[in-house]
Amino acid sequence: DTGVSQNPRHKITKRGQNVTFRCDPISEHNRLYWYRQTLGQGPEFLTYFQNEAQLEKSRLLSDRFSAERPKGSFSTLEIQRTEQGDSAMYLCASSSPGASIYGYTFGSGTRLTVV
Amino acid sequence: QKEVEQNSGPLSVPEGAIASLNCTYSDRGSQSFFWYRQYSGKSPELIMFIYSNGDKEDGRFTAQLNKASQYVSLLIRDSQPSDSATYLCAVRDNQGGKLIFGQGTELSVKP
């Protein structure tokens, strides 16, 4: 069990470019969550998957954002036509339903800077 | 809109003192409550969870829950400089299972 892994750790991109982040959850966890966190704020929920099914999306998730979890394993979060307001830490977390009362485990995050 | 509210701080306490962190939530049906610690530039780390009214102790940490008042708190006894971090309160959404976070309280423990 190597924990939740996120790549890349840092990403600097020019406004208007597309970026994609990857999250590898803890292997036995079937739930995977994406959050966004800006400086001085708590994590804001974006979306979550149970296995390969995307069960909930926040209204924060505009049509420029898309997330996938093929085969219920790793997940990707893509942001198209990035804007400066997309600069944030993108956090992935995973959990298993049986242990859901115990909260979930976060990865180290991907810090996105849009210039 | 379900909300979780925390004082953003910073809360400053001397080393060895008790730090008290507070959180209120809007959804009366919430059942599970969590405290995460986040060091600067790092991701949140789970330190406590509670789902029954009353107190739950783990080492120097005590979580307190009062569902009637929709209030959760975290007490840190014998505070250490290494406890300096942002503490995030989170509440599980009963409808979807996701965690809803407050904005966090920054704690500074002065030697």
What residues of A are in contact with residue B45 (Cβ under 8 Å)? 106
- Spell out a b/e string for A80-96, using b for 16 or more CB atoms within 10 Å of the CB, else e: eebeeebbbbbbbbbbe
Per-residue pLDDT of chain A (115 residues; tens, 9 = 90+): 579 999 999 999 999 999 999 999 998 888 999 999 999 999 999 999 999 999 999 987 889 999 999 988 999 999 999 999 999 999 999 988 765 566 788 999 999 999 9
Pairing of strands B71-76, B19-25: antiparallel
Condensed to tens digits (0 to 9), the pLDDT of residues B49-70 reads: 998 889 999 999 999 999 999 9
CA A55 to each of CA A6, A32, A62, A86, A98: distance values in angstroms, whole numbers, following the listed order: 21, 10, 16, 23, 17
pLDDT of residue A104: 86
SS3 A105: strand
Closest by Cβ to B100, choosing from A45, A97, A106 = A45
pLDDT of residue A1: 53
Query: What's the per-residue H, E or C state across chain B?
Result: CCCEEECCCCEEEECCCCEEEEEEECCCCCCCEEEEEECCCCCCEEEEEECCCEEEEECCEEEEEECCCCEEEEEECCCCHHHCEEEEEEEECCCCCCEEECCCEEEEEEC
CA dist B10 and B15 (Å) reads 15
Q: Cβ separation of A42 and B88 shorter than 8 Å?
A: yes
The answer to whether A32 faces chain B, any CB pair under 8 Å, is no
Q: Cβ separation of B96 and A108 shorter than 8 Å?
A: no
Q: Cβ separation of B102 and A42 shorter than 8 Å?
A: yes
Residue B22 confidence (pLDDT) above 90: yes
pLDDT confidence bin for B34, thresholds 50/70/90: very high
**At A90, which helix (H) or strand (E)?**
strand A88-95
Q: Cβ separation of B42 and A108 shorter than 8 Å?
A: yes
The answer to whether A31 faces chain B, any CB pair under 8 Å, is yes
